[in-house]
Structures are given as C-alpha cells and as structure tokens.
Structure 1
Amino acid sequence: MIDRRAVRVEVLLLLGVSLGRSAILSVLAIIDRLTYVKPLSEQTATLNPSVTPDRPWLDLAYQLTYAALGFVAPLLAVYLLRRDHEEWRLGVRPASDLGWGAGLAALIGLPGLGLVWVAQELGVSARIVPEALGTRWWSVPVLILAALQNGVLEEIVMIAYLLTRLRDLEWGWWPAIVTSAAIRGSYHLYQGFGGFVGNFVMGLIFGWFYRRTNRVMPLIVAHTILDIVSFVGYALLKDHLAFLR
C-alpha cells in the first residue's frame, strides 16, 4: 500500500528542486517584467543564452553542465516510479514513438507559432529569442542536446511522474491533467502570457494523450522536435530572415 503522506512530501520535494522551482521563479520574473520601465512587448526573453561569450571553452563547459544536470530530476522521477510501480516502463517503440511524436509536434507547433505572433502583437509577451550562442562549432549540437534535455525533463516529471503520483493520491484524471498543465504554463511565464497559454494547452493535450495511451516516449519525441525546430531553426535562419532579428 502506498503511503499517501509520503507521496505528497515526495511530490513537493521533487517539484521543489526541478520544475516547481522554475515555476516560482518564473512568476517572480513576470512580475518583474510587468513592473519594469519598458512595456512587456519591448522586452526580450532569451532561452539559450551564452554564459561566457568571451571564453568559448568555458561557455561550452557551462552549456554541457546545465544540460547534464537537467537529466537528474527525470532520472530521480523514474527511480521513484519504478520503486512503487514495478510494472511502470518508458516503453520505447522507436518507429511508433517517432510517428506519434512527429504528429503531436505538428499539431502543437503550427498553431503555437500563430499564438506567439498574436501574443506579441497584443503586447502580452516578450520578444522570444530561442538562442544566443553565436556561430561556434558546438552551437547546434548543444542546442539539440538542450532540446532533448527539455523534452526528457518536462515530459517525465510533469506527465509520467506527476500524473501517476496524483493518481496515487486518488485525484481524478482531469484535475491531475489541469494541475500539471497549469504548472507547465507557469514555468514559462517569464516569456509572457503567450508562453503560459501555449504551454498550458500543450500540457492538456499531452496529459490527455498519456491518459489514453500510458506512453510518455512520444511526448518526449514531440517536445524535442518542437525545441530543435525552434532553437536550431532560429540559429540557422536569423541572419537570413529579417523578421527573426
């Protein structure tokens, strides 16, 4: 029998050192943006900034370290799930995962681009800069690694782990999915309200998919594809398309 009190504490602690912490900091960030001298629409949110642009070797070390540390929380989540649910598996099916992942990425990505544009036109989002690593030889591989890390972290922690744990606490499916989606949206608030809405909707769709299939790998694939297109696409095209500058 699962100890519900222990599960509540576990959930709060895991979120507190990972995406829950990011949500709290993001709420503070949007308050900062809204009370800043410049309007929100004139501010910039950089997703993959350079840390030490004058020392590329150290910048690479920072980027790789950040990416590596980002895998710790999902690994812990998998460990905790397997401890209490021995039957739980990632269930890797390469062809199926890629197919479903690509389909989900298209479903979410195309309307998402429109939402970003509308939010910026309405002045409720900052200008999003997907990367600022420069043209170093390692920039694209690092961006791909960052995209993979984001997909693994968010989908394992927010979908596979959190929904399973909330179900352990006897939450209904939809209250659990909405809660997960709200947290997902919250840790994107630093981008503005467009980031919140887009990621909240994404969380609802991903939560529904997990409920229907009990599979998280297609969600990891979809999230990774979306971020690769955003990060790498921007890096490759920003000098050629004026509206990206």
Structure 2
Amino acid sequence: MRHRLSAWLAPQRPATPEPIDDPARRRVLIIELIIVFAITLGLSGVRSLLSLVDALLRPEPLGEQRVAINAPQATMDLIDLLKQLLSVVQLLGWGALGAYLLVRGGMRLAEVGLDRRRPGRDLRLGVGLTALIGLPGLALYLVGWQLGLNLAVQPSTLDETWWRPITLTLAAFGNSFAEEMLVVGYLLTRLRQLGSGENSALLIAAVLRGSYHLYQGIGGFVGNLIMGLVFGRVWQRTNRLWPLIVAHTLLDVVAFVGYAFLRDRVTWLP
C-alpha cells in the first residue's frame, strides 16, 4: 500500500522519451513551446488574467458579475452557427498542432496514449474520472461563487435553436481535445525531454490549466488547478490520453448542454 501511494505521489520518470542534452536541440524545443502556447492556451491564460483584473476593478463584487463560456457570436442564426463551428475547428486545430509536432519530432501518438488499443478500459477510466471530478468540482464552484471568489459562470447563453445541443457537444469535444492534447500529451512530453521532474512538470501544466480559467474567478483557477493535478498524474501513471479526453468531454457536455436545458427551469443556476 505504501509503495503504491509513493508511486502516485512521486512517480518514476519513464525511460522514454529520453532527456535531450544537446543545447541546440533544447533551444529549439524551448522556442517551440513558447510559440505554441503564445498562440494557443498560454495566450488564453494572459487574457483570462486581464479579464479577472478587470472584473476585480469593477464596483460590483465578483459574485454579482456574469461571464458566458458559449455565447452568441452573430445576430443571424446561420452565421452564428457557422462561427460556433469555426470556434470548434480552431480548438481541434490547436490540439492537432500539438499532436503534429510530437509526430514531426519522431514520436508516435501511441506513446502519449492516443491510440485505439484499449477502448473499453479507456472509456471506463474516463467515466470514473468524470465522477471523481464532476460533483466535487460543481460543489467547489458553487461554494466559491457564494463566497464571492467566482463570477457567475454561464456555460451557455445561446438561443434555443435546433443546432444548439449539437454545437455545444462539439465545443465540449473541441475543448477537451485541445486542452488534454496540449497541456498533458504535448507539454508534459516536452518537459520530460527537457529533463523536468514528474512533479515539477505536473505543477507547471496544472498552473497553466488554471490560468486560462482565471476569467471565471479565483475559484475557477483553483478548481482547474486541482483538475490539472489529477488528470496530469493519471496520464503520468497510465500513459493514456483518451480517458482524459473522454472525462473532459463528458464534464463539458453536462455543463454546456445541461445548463442550456436547465437555466430557465431552475432558480439556483446563475
């Protein structure tokens, strides 16, 4: 039991990928990391920080302010639909960029757990992670909101249209693929190649995940930091990325589609 706990708290670094010692190759990897996150989730983190600062400077308390995750992007339904779909394409492109760079660097996607060898076990683990993160995460958000540490987060303010559940489900998958591919599969792999320890790399990835949720408030940062620690450790121990994508997708589908369905039917949702 003690050995198993130690393996989760302080896992051994795997044999592959091997750390890169050549200074020129290390410099290329560092530049690559800066570029990738400067145009994807790192930039989102800076924007979220500025959004939080702006919210804190307003006269209204955080708990009385609202922020929408999936909001209308046009007044005409067809144009709104197309712009929602383009947002999904952008997210998929971000995730594909991380996958491509790993493959371009000589790795196989199976090495980060993005293969079809064990779909049943991946699905079961993903559902288990959904249960582990979902209810405690909702409780943490509601407590943070009541304490004034969070804005009132509205997962969807889209109008009631035939395509709303479709685009929200696609957005859930787009978010999960982009985040788990970049923050876990890509970033943690690159940090291993740069010689970072498993725990320090995990903390970096978790802080990054929390940073681009700062627009939700301090509670949003803390909740996603914890989620990042759990998801990153599961990947470090299992080397499977699909369960994280499954769990993240299910969490977002419940949040996006469930909120859109319930927001006018219950009084306790913002």
Matched, 1:91 2:115: yes
Write the distance in 1 (CA, Å) between the matches of 2:103 and 2:145: 42
Map 1:1-245 onto structure 2 (within 5 A). 3-52=25-74, 54-89=75-110, 90-92=114-116, 93-245=118-270
8 Å Cα contact 2:92-2:177 kept in structure 1: yes
Question: Tell me, which stretches of 5 or more residues in structure 2 are unaligned?
Answer: 1-19
Write the distance in 2 (CA, Å) between the matches of 1:138 and 1:87: 36
Q: 1:105-156: per-residue Cα shift (whole Å, max 9, x none)?
A: 1100110011011101110100010101111000000000000000000000
- Helix, strand or coil for the counterpart of 2:231? helix
Structure 1 stretches of at least 4 aligned residues deviating more than 3 Å after TM superposition:
none
Deviation at 1:85, TM superposition (A): 3.8
Deviation at 1:80, TM superposition (A): 1.0
Q: 1:154-186: per-residue Cα shift (whole Å, max 9, x none)?
A: 000000000000010000000000000001001
Write the distance in 2 (CA, Å) between the matches of 1:101 and 1:4: 34
Write the distance in 1 (CA, Å) between the matches of 2:152 and 2:172: 20
Write the distance in 1 (CA, Å) between the matches of 2:109 and 2:77: 42
Write the distance in 2 (CA, Å) between the matches of 1:7 and 1:106: 36
Q: Which amino acid aligns with 2:33?
A: V
8 Å Cα contact 2:102-2:108 kept in structure 1: no
Q: 1:191-236: per-residue Cα shift (whole Å, max 9, x none)?
A: 0011000000000001100110111110000000000000011111
Deviation at 1:84, TM superposition (A): 2.2
TM-score norm. by structure 1 comes to 0.97
Using a 3 Å threshold, how does the CA distance of structure 1 residues 6 and 46 change in structure 2: closer, same or farther?
same
Write the distance in 2 (CA, Å) between the matches of 1:88 and 1:131: 33
- Helix, strand or coil for the counterpart of 2:42? helix
Give the number of aligned pairs: 244
Write the distance in 1 (CA, Å) between the matches of 2:175 and 2:129: 16
Write the distance in 2 (CA, Å) between the matches of 1:86 and 1:125: 40
Deviation at 1:91, TM superposition (A): 2.0
Write the distance in 2 (CA, Å) between the matches of 1:76 and 1:61: 22
Q: Which amino acid aligns with 2:147?
A: L
Write the distance in 2 (CA, Å) between the matches of 1:241 and 1:123: 21
- Helix, strand or coil for the counterpart of 1:215? coil
- Helix, strand or coil for the counterpart of 1:46? strand
- Helix, strand or coil for the counterpart of 1:70? helix
Deviation at 1:96, TM superposition (A): 1.6
